[in-house]
Amino acid sequence: MKRFLTLGECMVELAPAGDQLYRRGFAGDTFNTAYYARRLLPQDWAVGYCTVAGQDAVSDDMLDLMRGHGIETRSIRQVADRTLGLYMIQLKDGERSFSYWRGQSAAKLLADDPDWLRAQLDGADVAQFSGISLAILPPEGREAFCEALSRARANGTHVAFDTNLRPQLWEDEATMRAGLRMGAEVSDTVLPSFDEEQGLFGDTAPAETIARYRDCGAKTIAVKDGAGTLTVWDHGEGTQEFQPVKIDPVIDTTAAGDSFGAGFLAGLAMERGIAEAAHLAMAVAAQVVQARGALVDLDMTDIEGAAS
């Protein structure tokens, strides 16, 4: 059995359901990627999620939900004295705003036990993490986390990094920049978003984003740009450009990048080559932005058609 593992934080989501009622869900960028990878990979692949949760009922519910989606939970460590982080979505005049309670979330302990972390990565064919997975860790945790990934990579795991910048989660901008480099340096594949790179590093073209992550040692870099051109550089094939499917209207871009990452990495895992992986990724993301919410039911016929 091959194994696709994503690592990070999944939180409790409280979303407005009218009349001061809130609907409870679970959400997290790396969890979204696991969800879509499970849909896209054949059954000889296991898809697992690696995080730290509590030993309470709400943490158990999250594990149940993941298992219900076919995601393995044996890499989720449950600790007694913490629980899941939580965020609440507020709607005011049609605009969404978010409040977070995640300072003490269990997932911050993800790299506290390096032996346990290394054991989870042992035998993983693909290990995906994000800028959020790094940002939530204390500085020494980031180092231990990257060390474990680097060791896994040396043992043959394909390590993939979705940069997902969240400036408010990092101590400051310089630390965020250094953290991104640290993540990229242990990764085979990096999946940045051009607008974020432009904002943080002042890039004027995707080629500059690619050059930076190539210097960190990445072998494949896919620079997303929403509805704009997707630019992919690969050490073997050089640079290729792809145009995302035209979509009108776009309903909700939540999890566009997460599902894109799942498609791209699943494509590579199935040895489809860069162009096919890019088409698979764009086809998945196209369906995700045409529906509400992070976890969308995919029409697989349409996706296979687009990717072949």
Catalytic sites, residue numbers: 258
Six token digits for residue 74? 């044996």
Q: Are 282 and 230 contacting, i.e. CB atoms less than 8 angstroms apart?
A: yes
Tell me the closest approach of the beta carbon of residue 253 to ligand ADP, in angstroms: 5
Closest to 130 measured CA to CA, from 60, 89, 190, 52: 190
Task: Indicate the residue among 83 and 287 with the shorter CB distance to ligand ADP.
Answer: 287
Minimal CB distance residue for ligand ADP: 257
Tell me the closest approach of the beta carbon of residue 224 to ligand ADP, in angstroms: 3
Task: Indicate the residue among 211 and 247 with the shorter CB distance to ligand ADP.
Answer: 247
Give 72's DSSP letter: B
Phi, psi dihedrals of residue 107, rounded to the nearest 5°: -60, -20
Residue 37 CA to residue 28 CA, distance in Å, equals 14
Task: Indicate the residue among 225 and 276 with the shorter CB distance to ligand ADP.
Answer: 225
Distances (CA, A) of 135 to 18, 110, 117, 129: 33, 12, 17, 11
Tell me the closest approach of the beta carbon of residue 294 to ligand ADP, in angstroms: 11
Residues that bind ligand ADP (CB under 6 A): 193, 224-227, 230, 244-245, 247, 250, 253, 256-257, 260, 282, 285-286, 289
Task: Indicate the residue among 117 and 277 with the shorter CB distance to ligand ADP.
Answer: 277
Direct distance between the N- and C-terminal alpha carbons of the chain, in angstroms, rounded to an integer: 25
Tell me the closest approach of the beta carbon of residue 264 to ligand ADP, in angstroms: 9
